[in-house]
């Protein structure tokens, strides 16, 4: 079950992540014991990095082999995540060159990314009011920290 803290952590990640090690080693947090399939964890994290501006259009993602090796997972799992992202227009594959972040229009695609992250929270039972309260609290914390 996804908790309200997960929602807060996600929003916090979007606002605080500045750099990422794109060789794959420190970029992803894979939870093997999670009920969420590993390929979906990879997808979600890439979408979060794109949304946060950590990954920009044209940035090269870690190779399938590198990401799999660095995280102790099967390369087919990484390939599946990349294929799903490509299918949805978030990345593109240049054979023998790698997988790159695609140009994403800000309006519709931004909303699509946010919904991709929020849908599991809703399905886990978190109410709209709880999500809005968590986001509001996070922004208030940051306003107080800036003052």
- Tell which residue, 38, 42, 4, has the closest CA to residue 120: 4
The mean pLDDT values, 10 residues at a time, for the chain of 147 residues are 53 42 64 91 92 90 94 96 92 95 74 78 88 88 77
* The pLDDT of residue 84: 94
Kind of pairing between the strands at 91-94 and 98-101: antiparallel
- Tell which residue, 78, 100, 79, 104, has the closest CA to residue 91: 100
Residues 6+ apart with CB under 8 A from 51: 14, 110, 113, 114, 117
Burial, 7: exposed, middle or buried (Cβ in 10 Å; 0-12, 13-18, 19+)?
A: buried
* The pLDDT of residue 103: 87
- Domains annotated for the chain, with CATH where assigned, are 4-146 (1.10.10.10)
**What region does 89 belong to: left with phi over 0, alpha with psi -120 to 50, or beta?**
left
């Amino acid at each position: 079950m996804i908790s309200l803290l997960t929602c807060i952590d996600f929003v916090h990640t979007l606002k605080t992540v500045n750099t990422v090690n794109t060789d794959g080693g420190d970029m992803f947090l894979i939870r093997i014991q999670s009920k969420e399939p590993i390929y979906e964890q990879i997808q979600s994290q890439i979408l979060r990095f794109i949304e946060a501006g950590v990954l920009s259009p044209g940035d090269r993602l870690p190779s399938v082999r590198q990401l799999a090796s660095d995280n102790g997972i099967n390369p087919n799992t990484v390939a599946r995540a990349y294929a799903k992202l490509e299918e949805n227009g978030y990345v593109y594959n240049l054979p023998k060159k790698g997988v790159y972040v695609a140009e994403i229009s800000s309006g519709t695609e931004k909303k699509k990314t946010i919904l991709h992250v929020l849908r599991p929270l809703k399905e886990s039972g978190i109410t709209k009011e709880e999500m809005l309260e968590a986001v509001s609290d996070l922004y208030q914390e940051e306003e107080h920290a800036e003052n």
